């Protein structure tokens, strides 16, 4: 395992004299390095994105400390020994610490700490030799003997992968540097390590740049990286068609529009709370909301432009779209009702959704990836998925408003059913009912469009696939509520209560099928993680509902007020 470690050092002839921990090079401008084209993960991307994805895969975060992501990779290549002592390898499952006899409770370890663990070396060997010897670890995270999901085995495999990826960076085996000489845009590029064997201009310039970095000469690094960018760009087939996309992607990465939108949303939500009484908070709230939505839409468009498709193919992307949906519906409803509590709820929901999307990049991978073959029908994919996830936005808004409505019943139980509270409940329920209507129409349409898409590309309108079945279950659940309301069984208390409960079917259709059930044809979206987070959300909702229902039952409101 340690062998591969020394290769780069020998090949570049760099004498390593790392003094202490690696530090960023002050005053270096990295623009050219960031924009350097790299072929990785099945598409062409800027070095900046390549660096962020690599760091995510190693450390579980898209950047490391005070370093710029691109600089981190360069620094790793010139100072492997220094980085081998940095705590950069993440272990997220505590049982793995135990298994590898590592310090319990810690999440980050240095490569050297792992190399000095015999247990780790043995497991790594076992995993490489096909997963038969070491605890039956397989690539799918599923135990080959029991057929069960095996989070510990999966994490162990990931830890080995993280270490190997670090080694691959250090040895230049991961950095695709030299485009093929032909005009075939799909041909694989040569990596830095491969290029060193035969030597070519790109490799020579890259080596010179690394040397400058080792000597800590900022100017020289800038000069060489500009040369390198030029040399690579020249040999990329049809580069002019992708040039702007690379620039947009770097901008998107550095701007982090969704993170900014999230902060704006959360502040806007706070200001909306006070907006009914004073003019200044209202102004602020409006300004913040518009800024947030602007950033949100900008990010959405940038991402669509970079990926060449609307961002709706995994959990992370759907969160972006659903939270945008929440805002759209809140605007539609606000235009009529002018309820500040609606905007406050919507902003907080959107803010928290974006936060959840941003908080766990290992669970919800923000990486832009090429589509799997079944999804390559942009038109129907777009229509079907956008419609269905938009309905989730409507249901989420209805859920938020209904929670506020339920909260009014706690007040009613305490203060009695004042006309003011009664009026507020009525208007809140009206809002969530509207949102429910939006949602059910969109969900019905989206589910049917899913059938149309399936019929169009697989010849099967409906195949009882778990994802489509859960969309149907959510639809049926909301249908039952709407019909119940029509029949007069679902009153002013039951409506918000059931709206909140029914949202769990949306959670199941949206998250549960992919992350919990893990069965069926929509397997391209399957993943693990986040169970604790989602479960605690559902648990908190259930407890809240039970509590309110109990309070409501203990203080029966007079039938006259109920009607």
Which stretches of the chain bind other proteins, using CB under 8 A?
39-44, 140, 142, 144-147, 176, 185-189, 370, 372-374, 376-377, 380, 437-438, 440-441, 444-445, 448, 451-452, 455-462, 464, 466, 469-470, 472-473, 476-477, 479-480, 483-484, 486-487, 489, 505, 508, 513, 516-520, 523
Q: How far is the CB of 371 from other proteins (least distance, A)?
A: 8
Tokens standing for residue 353? 């959704």
Tokens standing for residue 372? 């799997």
Q: How far is the CB of 489 from other proteins (least distance, A)?
A: 8
Nearest to 547 by CA among 502, 481, 500, 512: 500
Q: Of the two residues 244 and 378, which places its CB atom closer to other proteins in the complex?
A: 378
Q: How far is the CB of 288 from other proteins (least distance, A)?
A: 30
Q: Of the two residues 124 and 394, which places its CB atom closer to other proteins in the complex?
A: 394
Q: How far is the CB of 440 from other proteins (least distance, A)?
A: 7
Q: Of the two residues 19 and 146, which places its CB atom closer to other proteins in the complex?
A: 146
Q: Of the two residues 227 and 394, which places its CB atom closer to other proteins in the complex?
A: 394
SS3 of residue 142 by DSSP: strand
Q: Of the two residues 318 and 505, which places its CB atom closer to other proteins in the complex?
A: 505
The 8 Å CB, 24+ separation contacts for 51-59 are 52/253, 53/367, 54/165, 54/169, 54/174, 56/361, 56/362, 56/365, 56/367, 57/161, 57/162, 57/165, 58/88, 58/89, 58/90, 58/162, 58/165, 58/166, 58/169, 59/88, 59/89, 59/90, 59/108, 59/162
Q: How far is the CB of 437 from other proteins (least distance, A)?
A: 5
- The per-residue DSSP string of 41-57 comes to TTEEEEHHHHHHHHHHH
Q: How far is the CB of 378 from other proteins (least distance, A)?
A: 10
Q: Of the two residues 63 and 136, which places its CB atom closer to other proteins in the complex?
A: 136
Q: How far is the CB of 133 from other proteins (least distance, A)?
A: 10
- The per-residue DSSP string of 461-476 comes to S----HHHHHHHHHHH
Q: How far is the CB of 188 from other proteins (least distance, A)?
A: 4
Please state the length of the chain: 563
Q: How many CA atoms lie within 13 A of 224 on its CB side?
A: 22
User: What is the C-alpha to C-alpha distance for residues 126 and 146, in angstroms, rounded to an integer?
Assistant: 18
Q: Of the two residues 146 and 558, which places its CB atom closer to other proteins in the complex?
A: 146
SS3 of residue 306 by DSSP: helix
Q: How far is the CB of 227 from other proteins (least distance, A)?
A: 24
Q: Of the two residues 234 and 483, which places its CB atom closer to other proteins in the complex?
A: 483
Tokens standing for residue 62? 């898209």
Cβ atoms 310, 382 nearer than 8 A? yes
Q: Of the two residues 39 and 289, which places its CB atom closer to other proteins in the complex?
A: 39
Tokens standing for residue 148? 């069960």
Q: Of the two residues 189 and 409, which places its CB atom closer to other proteins in the complex?
A: 189
Q: Of the two residues 224 and 485, which places its CB atom closer to other proteins in the complex?
A: 485
Q: How many CA atoms lie within 13 A of 438 on its CB side?
A: 25
DSSP 8-state symbol, 149: B
Q: Of the two residues 350 and 500, which places its CB atom closer to other proteins in the complex?
A: 500
Cβ atoms 513, 526 nearer than 8 A? no
Q: How far is the CB of 472 from other proteins (least distance, A)?
A: 6
Residues 6+ apart with CB under 8 A from 279: none
Q: How far is the CB of 379 from other proteins (least distance, A)?
A: 9
Q: How far is the CB of 448 from other proteins (least distance, A)?
A: 4
User: What is the C-alpha to C-alpha distance for residues 546 and 497, in angstroms, rounded to an integer?
Assistant: 9
**Which H or E run includes 94?**
helix 94-99
Neighbours of 542 (CB within 10 A): 13
Burial of residue 535 (number of CB atoms within 10 Å: 0-12, 13-18, 19+) = exposed
Looking at 171-309, list the stretches that DSSP marks H as alpha helix, in order from N- to C-terminal side. 192-198, 201-214, 218-235, 240-255, 257-273, 279-307
Q: How far is the CB of 474 from other proteins (least distance, A)?
A: 8
User: What is the C-alpha to C-alpha distance for residues 528 and 513, in angstroms, rounded to an integer?
Assistant: 11
Q: Of the two residues 65 and 188, which places its CB atom closer to other proteins in the complex?
A: 188
């Amino acid at each position: 395992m340690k062998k591969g470690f020394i290769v780069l050092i020998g090949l570049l002839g760099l004498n390593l004299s790392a003094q202490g921990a690696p530090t960023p090079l002050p005053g270096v401008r990295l623009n050219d390095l960031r924009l350097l084209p790299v072929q990785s993960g099945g598409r062409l991307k800027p070095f900046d994105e390549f660096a962020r994805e690599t760091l995510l895969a190693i450390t579980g975060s898209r950047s490391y400390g005070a370093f710029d992501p691109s600089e981190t990779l360069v620094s790793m290549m010139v100072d492997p020994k220094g980085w081998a002592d940095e705590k950069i390898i993440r272990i997220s499952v505590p049982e793995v610490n135990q298994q590898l006899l590592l310090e319990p409770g810690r999440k980050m370890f240095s490569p050297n700490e792992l190399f000095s663990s015999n247990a780790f070396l043995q497991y790594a060997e076992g995993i490489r030799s096909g997963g038969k010897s070491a605890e039956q670890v397989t690539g799918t995270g599923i135990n080959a003997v029991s057929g069960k999901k095996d989070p510990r085995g999966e994490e162990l495999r990931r830890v080995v992968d993280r270490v190997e990826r670090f080694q691959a960076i250090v040895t230049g085996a991961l950095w695709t540097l030299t485009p093929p000489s032909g005009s075939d845009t799909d041909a694989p590029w040569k990596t830095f390590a491969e290029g060193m064997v035969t030597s070519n201009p790109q490799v020579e310039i890259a080596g010179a740049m690394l040397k400058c970095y080792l000597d800590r000469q900022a100017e020289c690094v800038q000069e060489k990286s500009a040369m390198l960018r030029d040399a690579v760009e020249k040999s990329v087939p049809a580069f002019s068609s992708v040039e702007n996309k690379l620039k947009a992607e770097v901008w998107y990465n550095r701007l982090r529009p969704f993170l900014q939108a999230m902060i704006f949303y959360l502040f806007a939500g706070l200001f909306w709370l006070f907006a009914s009484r004073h003019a200044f908070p209202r102004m602020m709230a409006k300004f913040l909301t518009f800024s947030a939505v602007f950033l949100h839409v900008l990010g959405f468009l940038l991402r669509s432009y970079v990926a060449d498709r609307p961002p709706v193919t995994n959990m992370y992307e759907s969160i972006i779209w659903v939270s945008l949906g929440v805002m759209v519906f809140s605007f539609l409803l606000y235009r009529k009702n002018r309820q500040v509590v609606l905007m406050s709820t919507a902003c907080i929901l959107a803010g928290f959704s974006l936060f959840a999307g941003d908080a766990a990049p290992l669970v919800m991978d923000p990486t832009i990836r090429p589509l799997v073959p079944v999804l390559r029908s942009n038109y129907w994919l777009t229509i079907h998925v956008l419609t269905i996830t938009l309905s989730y936005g409507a249901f989420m808004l209805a859920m938020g408003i209904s929670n506020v409505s339920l909260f009014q019943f706690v007040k009613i139980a305490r203060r009695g059913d004042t006309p003011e509270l009664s009026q507020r409940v009525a208007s809140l329920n009206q809002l969530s009912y509207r949102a429910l209507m939006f949602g059910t129409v969109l969900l019905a349409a989206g589910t049917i469009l899913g059938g149309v898409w399936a019929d169009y590309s697989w010849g099967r309108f409906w195949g009882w696939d778990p994802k489509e079945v859960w969309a149907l279950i959510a639809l049926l659940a909301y249908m039952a509520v709407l019909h119940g309301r029509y029949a007069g069984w679902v009153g002013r208390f039951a409506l918000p209560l059931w709206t909140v409960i029914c949202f769990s079917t949306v959670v199941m259709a949206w998250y549960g099928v992919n992350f919990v059930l893990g069965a069926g044809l929509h397997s391209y979206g399957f993943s693990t993680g986040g169970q604790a987070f989602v479960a605690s959300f559902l648990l908190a909702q259930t407890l809240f509902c039970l509590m309110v229902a109990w309070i409501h039952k203990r203080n029966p409101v007079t039938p006259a007020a109920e009607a």
